[in-house]
Amino acid sequence: MKKRSFKGMIINLFLFPVLTVLVIIGFNSNYLIKNLIHYILFVFDSLVFVSLIVCLIIFLKTRKKEPKKLKLWLKIVLSLFLSIYIIGCTGFVLLLYGPNDRFRTWLITTAMQTMNHQYFCKWFYNDKTIQYVLDNNKVIESGESTDTSMVTKKRATKFKDKYDKEILDVDIDLPYKIIELEVNGCKGYLAAIYDPSKVKLAVTSKLGTSGQYVTKMAQDHDAYLAINAGGFYDPNYSSSGGMPTSITISDGKIVTNNTYSSYNQGGGIIGFTEDDVLVLLKNTTASQALEKGVRDAVSWGPFLIVNGKASFIRGNGGWGYAARSAIGQREDGIVLLLVISSNQIRTKGADMIDLVEIMQRYHAINAANLDGGTSTVMVLPKNIAQKEYDSPCSDSFSDKYCWINTPYDSTGAKRTRPIADAWVVEK
């Protein structure tokens, strides 16, 4: 009797924690565990709990009547395993649903801003919880569009601070300068482009069918430098990157004017006018953008800074941490192109607060978030990338250009992906 009750107790001790975890997940989301399965698990978990109590009572009543036969080392191993197992299950539940919401906020805001990993949070949280977290972590824009008169293009004779000096203190008349950064333990690169007229939009040559790698677009445009630009339509998270979202303008011509969108947190048109001013336009149609003199533009967001006013960031901004790209312009006309890398498992990187702080630090008066994640990339000519930044140059789609940041795709491999468009700095 004692032996059977002991075995039953051990089996139930193993089953009860994991079943309880699944039941708790089922109470908080029906994405991973459907309602019918959840009810079955709940009944089964209840029966296991009752069985555990019964086996424990029988074991306690009979343990003095029979000699102990279990070896000491086996007792220690079994006790250690069960302790770690039960503590692990308890810790997992507290991590997901405990009073400290830091992990919950990170998981939801990070997963929900990816194109193909939203299930990571939907497995554990229902729509109401997800929306609550997103509502308390978002970018609240000023609602303004760019006042182009604020970009005077006049260079200051004195440095405002050490960051201004980093931008303006150059020994020779270079077309650009790259400043290396570190954000949350990840490397970043900020490129200062001294002639904004050189910043143009490259669009995939296979529009509507397939995207292109930024290295290839840079090579086709014989560029000094290039980074990814706007997002792209991605049905069922299987897109090849061939269709940009919403409005795209290149060289003064409308390339796309559709309703496809992959973001819902602010933003609008991000582009340059014929006067080489970066404009961030709210509620503007493609034809209205052309009337305003826009020559190159994409649709994305959110806007980070407009007319010198930073957006209000509630919580972490609602985008979590990931590889990020951003574009900005200073009052003197210098364009800032920023990329921040993530880690291989894509749990680090930058959030919207980081992007705003960096753009403010280097005195951008207009700045916007660009597409991030697996799209984030900055490329340079191969000889410079390898000499100055030790680039591995594993992108086989160009023999002349390499990326200098460390991109990871959705599989964790060190590579980027084909995208719809890129900002290129032409020679």
- For residue range 208-264, what is the model confidence (pLDDT) as tens digits? 889 999 999 999 999 999 999 998 886 655 568 888 989 999 999 999 998 765 555
Confidence of residue 116 (pLDDT cuts 50, 70, 90): low
Provide the pLDDT for residue 117: 74
Taking each helix axis as running N to C, give the angle between helix 102-111 and helix 127-135, from 0 to 180 degrees, rounded to the nearest 10: 100
Confidence of residue 54 (pLDDT cuts 50, 70, 90): confident
Provide the pLDDT for residue 374: 87
Angle at 217 between CA 214 and CA 219, to 5 degrees: 110
Classify residue 334: in a domain, yes or no: yes
Provide the pLDDT for residue 111: 85
Provide the pLDDT for residue 234: 67
Q: Evaluate if residue 423 carries a pLDDT over 70.
A: yes
Q: Evaluate if residue 70 carries a pLDDT over 70.
A: no
Provide the pLDDT for residue 187: 94
166 and 279, same domain (yes or no) = yes
46 and 183, same domain (yes or no) = no
47 and 155, same domain (yes or no) = no
139 three-state secondary structure: strand
| Closest residue by Cα to residue 395 from 185, 230, 226 | 226
Enter the tokens of residue 423.
Answer: 């900002």
Provide the pLDDT for residue 414: 82
247 and 346, same domain (yes or no) = yes
Please state which of the ranges 30-44, 220-234, 268-282 shows the lowest mean pLDDT.
30-44
146 and 79, same domain (yes or no) = no
**Nearby residues of 84 by Cβ (< 8 Å), 6 or more positions away:** none
Q: Evaluate if residue 120 carries a pLDDT over 90.
A: no
| Closest residue by Cα to residue 325 from 350, 293, 292, 294 | 350
Classify residue 117: in a domain, yes or no: no
The count of C-alpha atoms lying within 13 angstroms of the C-alpha of 354, restricted to the half-sphere facing its C-beta, is 26
Provide the pLDDT for residue 174: 73
Q: Evaluate if residue 188 carries a pLDDT over 90.
A: yes
159 and 56, same domain (yes or no) = no
Q: pLDDT (tens digit, 9 = 90+) per residue, 400-412?
A: 999 999 888 777 7
User: What's the rounded Cα separation, in Å, for the pair 261 and 315?
Assistant: 24
Residue 14 is part of which domain span?
A: 2-99
Enter the tokens of residue 245.
Answer: 């979202």
95 and 149, same domain (yes or no) = no
Classify residue 243: in a domain, yes or no: yes
Give 180 or 233, the one with higher predicted confidence: 180
Mean pLDDT of 313-327: 91
User: How many distinct structural domains can be found in the chain?
Assistant: 2
Enter the tokens of residue 372.
Answer: 């991030």
132 in Cβ contact with 145 (< 8 Å) = no
Maximum Cα–Cα distance across the chain: 94
**Which of 70, 99, 128 is a domain's end point?**
99
| Closest residue by Cα to residue 92 from 6, 10, 28, 181 | 28
Q: If you average pLDDT over every residue of the chain, what do you get?
A: 88
Q: Evaluate if residue 76 carries a pLDDT over 90.
A: no
Classify residue 376: in a domain, yes or no: yes
Classify residue 153: in a domain, yes or no: yes
323 and 398, same domain (yes or no) = yes
Confidence of residue 77 (pLDDT cuts 50, 70, 90): confident
Mean pLDDT of 315-343: 94
285 and 196, same domain (yes or no) = yes
How many other CB atoms sit within 10 Å of the CB of residue 307?
16
**Which of 99, 123, 150 is a domain's end point?**
99
**Nearby residues of 169 by Cβ (< 8 Å), 6 or more positions away:** 159
Beta strands 138-140; 309-310: pairing state:
unpaired
User: What's the rounded Cα separation, in Å, for the pair 417 and 409?
Assistant: 7
167 in Cβ contact with 331 (< 8 Å) = no
327 in Cβ contact with 336 (< 8 Å) = yes
What pTM, to 2 d.p., does this model score? Answer: 0.84
Provide the pLDDT for residue 278: 98
Classify residue 29: in a domain, yes or no: yes
Mean pLDDT of 357-369: 98
75 and 150, same domain (yes or no) = no
Q: Evaluate if residue 65 carries a pLDDT over 60.
A: no
Give 69 or 208, the one with higher predicted confidence: 208
339 three-state secondary structure: strand
User: What's the rounded Cα separation, in Å, for the pair 187 and 339?
Assistant: 9
Classify residue 123: in a domain, yes or no: no
**Which of 99, 128, 154 is a domain's end point?**
99
Q: Evaluate if residue 127 carries a pLDDT over 60.
A: yes
Please state which of the ranges 46-50, 114-118, 272-276 shows the lowest mean pLDDT.
114-118
**Nearby residues of 414 by Cβ (< 8 Å), 6 or more positions away:** 344, 392, 394, 406, 407, 408
How many other CB atoms sit within 10 Å of the CB of residue 88?
13
Provide the pLDDT for residue 103: 92
150 and 52, same domain (yes or no) = no
List C-alpha distances in Å: 175 to 157, 201, 312. Answer: 19, 17, 33
Confidence of residue 68 (pLDDT cuts 50, 70, 90): low
DSSP assigned state of 399: S
Classify residue 121: in a domain, yes or no: no
58 and 157, same domain (yes or no) = no
